[in-house]
Amino acid sequence: MPDDPTISAKAGNRITVLNPMGFPPKVTAKQPAPRLSSLDGKTVYLVDCRFDDSIELLKQVQAWFADKMPSVKTRMVSLNSVYRHDDPKTWDIIKANGDAAIFGVGHCSTCAPAVTTHTITLDTKWGVPSVAIHTDKFVKVVESVARVGGLANSPKAFVPQPVMGKSAEELRAYVYGNDLATGRPLMQVVVEGLTRAVAPSQSADLSATPRIAATDTEDNLHKLFLENRWTDFLPIVLPTEERVAAMLKGTSRRPDEIVGTLEPTHNRGPWSFTVEKVAVNAVMAGAKPEYLPVILALASSHVSARGSTSSSASPLVVVNGPIRHEIGMNAGTGAMGPYNHANAAIGRAYGLISQNGQGGSVVGETFMGSLGNGYTYSNLTFAENEERSPWEPLHVQKGFDAKASTASIFWGCRSTTFNLGLREDHWQEHVRDMLLGTDALTPPVLLLDPITARQFIDRGGFVKKADLIAWLAKTATMPAGRYWDLQLIQNYVYPRATFGEEPLATKLKAGKDELIEIWEAEDINVVVVGGETNGYWQMMGANHRITVDIDKWR
């Protein structure tokens, strides 16, 4: 960025900086269902969210009722699909045949918000008194989702983490133990959630994020940005009016135009942000004005680079088209590392607008990645080496004209294998080993140095990229019994298969020793990148989420 004449080197000089935060969603208060005077003789549905042994804990809740409140009839029901989807068919059944519901268990960064939302939906829209059981790691998550959902006091109780893999005796101790949020007996909290009045929430319009962050000394402002968690904890460029105005020259769009919305995960509430907000975060990242169209395109994708998943996923961004050369992006040697200003600054800016535009990325509240992921510092942003690739570039594969400039966002980057070239005799087995080293939920992206890309043609005759992808899909197989036993497959794929989604339903019918294909060909991707210093290549588990047009943001 150019020097800002308003900033003096003199100690104590006061400057004004802009606020990088987006605009929160409007909260509409919801009316809770009337509570029951007693559960005596009533039918209570136990709603399994189908995540990591949730049903096993609910079985112990059912046993508690049989032991302590035998007059209560309990019915176990599982959601009709993956937990993040609304399930009105099940809500209708509960409304018609039950008096109350207990949801469980919210014990991951995405299922805790989903369970909270389902509880509020059944309670306020269907009029069925409902309570949710979560694990204690997600107290703040649940509270924030309930506020945004319009029922801040939605009844909830908390057991220890983890539920997954615990014995029946251990889960029974959870149920007969105390609620970890209040210290009171867990089932007393649950029963009271169905029988005691719930205070309604208040509607709120919180969208007035101030444009100016503060006026202060440079040192104090850096401290302010750190304390407010507006940074990635690396040094930033302070976003003064002058610097932001210079950044905005990189686009023809109005500063007050809404670019899009982002949220850490489903059910957290989408925050919105303007072109100027994106420019503020681009300044902070040290970007140049000519990078702004790429950053705006990424920000418009509705895919957050700071997603709250306990699996600690990270984005991967591939830029295609003429803009690669116009702004000096690197597609060759070191493209995926910290060796190019455009690659690094664009990736960092995408991360900053993601966390600030969505209202934050705070550990324990809006970020729950158990391990974290170092890739999120740069979001693995690089250009494809189209000129040295033997195949059509990625954006053409995704339906764009070769002369268009695009950015493709992948999501995952938790499993990575790598190799050197393709051996003459056993290359197929070696590739198969790499495929099986990628987690089965997340399809592979092959990141090929041009040397290796040409070797795939020499060894396998894959003149067309589609032929290589089809071969990869047929090669990546696993015995059905082993595949369906994987926890991630149980959580996210098995529910879809049980309700008839093809080709998953057919795979579910396979014998336990029958080999089945792990991924569909259309979910596998190939990108050529690297400078031909050697034929090294990687295979990274990552889902293609979207390819966005950069040119419209110029």
3-state helix, strand, coil in the chain (%, to 5): 35, 20, 45
Average pLDDT on 141-154 reads: 93
Average pLDDT on 181-189 reads: 97
Task: Indicate the pTM of the whole model.
Answer: 0.92
Average pLDDT, the chain: 94
CA distance 436 to 434: 5
pLDDT at 161: 95
pLDDT at 266: 83
Average pLDDT on 528-546 reads: 97
Choice among 113-122, 193-202, 231-240 with the minimum mean pLDDT: 193-202
pLDDT at 10: 45
pLDDT tens, position by position, 264-276: 888 888 999 999 9
Domains (ranges, CATH) in the chain?
43-195 (3.40.50.2300), 212-476+518-553 (no CATH)
pLDDT at 513: 97
Q: Within a 10 A sphere around the Cβ of 234, how many other Cβ atoms? A: 11
pLDDT at 203: 75
pLDDT at 269: 86
Residue 2 has pLDDT above 60, yes or no: no
pLDDT at 207: 62
pLDDT tens, position by position, 189-212: 999 999 999 988 877 665 679 999
CA distance 439 to 441: 6
CA distance 354 to 375: 15
Q: Do residues 540 and 415 make contact, with C-beta atoms less than 8 angstroms apart? A: yes
pLDDT at 205: 64
CA distance 107 to 159: 9
CA distance 186 to 192: 10
The DSSP call for residue 373 is: -
Choice among 3-12, 310-319, 365-374 with the minimum mean pLDDT: 3-12
Choice among 145-149, 183-187, 541-545 with the minimum mean pLDDT: 145-149
Q: Is 125 helix (H, G, I), strand (E, B) or coil?
A: coil
SS3 assignment for 397-450: HCCCCCCCCEEEEEEEEEEEEEEECCCCCCHHHHHHHHHHCCCCCCCEEEEECH
Choice among 80-84, 317-321, 402-406, 549-553 with the minimum mean pLDDT: 80-84
Residue 351 has pLDDT above 80, yes or no: yes
Handedness of CA 353, 358, 359, 362 (dihedral sign): negative
Q: Do residues 538 and 444 make contact, with C-beta atoms less than 8 angstroms apart? A: no
Residue type, 398: K
Residue 3 has pLDDT above 80, yes or no: no
